[in-house]
Homo-oligomer: A and B are copies of this chain.
Amino acid sequence: MYLRTLNSLEDAGTLMVSSRELAAPLGLNPAQVRKDIAYFGEFGRRGVGYNVARLRDHLAEILGMKTRRMVGIVGAGGHLGHALALHKGFEKRNFKVVALFDKDPRVIGQVLGENAIQHISELSETVKRLNIEILMLAVPATELNSVFDYILLSGITAVLNFAPVRLPSTDEICVHNVDLAVELEYLTFHLDRNSVVT
Contacts and interface: CB of A to CB of B under 8 A. Distances in A.
A187 B176 CA distance: 7
17 contacts: A3-B185, A4-B181, A27-B166, A62-B189, A64-B185, A64-B189, A64-B192, A65-B185, A89-B164, A93-B181, A134-B187, A157-B191, A159-B187, A160-B183, A160-B187, A174-B187, A178-B178
Contacts of A183: 160, 176, 178
Interface in A27-71: 27, 62-65, 69
Interface in A150-198: 157-160, 164-166, 168-171, 174, 176, 178-192, 194, 196-198
A1 B183 CA distance: 11
A198 B167 CA distance: 11
- Interface size class on chain A is 35 or more
Interface of A: 1, 3-4, 25-27, 62-65, 69, 79-80, 82-84, 86-87, 89-90, 93, 95, 133-134, 140, 157-160, 164-166, 168-171, 174, 176, 178-192, 194, 196-198
Contacts of A87: 79-80
A180 B63 CA distance: 15
Nearest to A178: B183
